[in-house]
Amino acid sequence: VLNDFMMRAKTLERLEEYRVIQKYAHEREQDIQLLHKHREERKMKEEISRGKGLKKKKVEEAFMRSQSEADLIEETPEEQLRQLDEFEAARFGSRDSDSD
């Protein structure tokens, strides 16, 4: 009878130790997840502060917009050269800017 009592007491002690270990393991897992979350937030803030986050998208959107606007104009190369000559004449006068 005494032997059964001692075995039962040891079993209960081990179960209690196991519960404590499980509790600490669960808390440790939560801490690790929290650290990962904070690390990801810090990385996002660093990217934004370096200008990598939003500026790239804005530049790409502006480039795409300018490309689509250029596609709508549809000028021939001759028309572009004529406009360039007109601009040079208005800007620099009647002197020939192409001659050396």
Note the pLDDT tens digit of each residue in 69-88.
666 666 677 887 888 888 88
Do 36 and 59 fall into the same domain? no
Do 5 and 22 fall into the same domain? yes
Q: What is the mean pLDDT of residues 14-25?
A: 96
The tokens describing 40, both together, are 């990801």
Do 37 and 3 fall into the same domain? yes
Do 13 and 44 fall into the same domain? yes
The residue whose two tokens read 């979350």 is: 37
pLDDT at 100: 47
Q: Any alpha helices (H) in the chain, and if so which ranges? A: 2-50, 55-73, 77-92
Do 39 and 28 fall into the same domain? yes
Is the pTM for the entire model greater than 0.75? no
* Residue 18 structural domain: 1-53
Do 32 and 13 fall into the same domain? yes
Do 82 and 63 fall into the same domain? yes
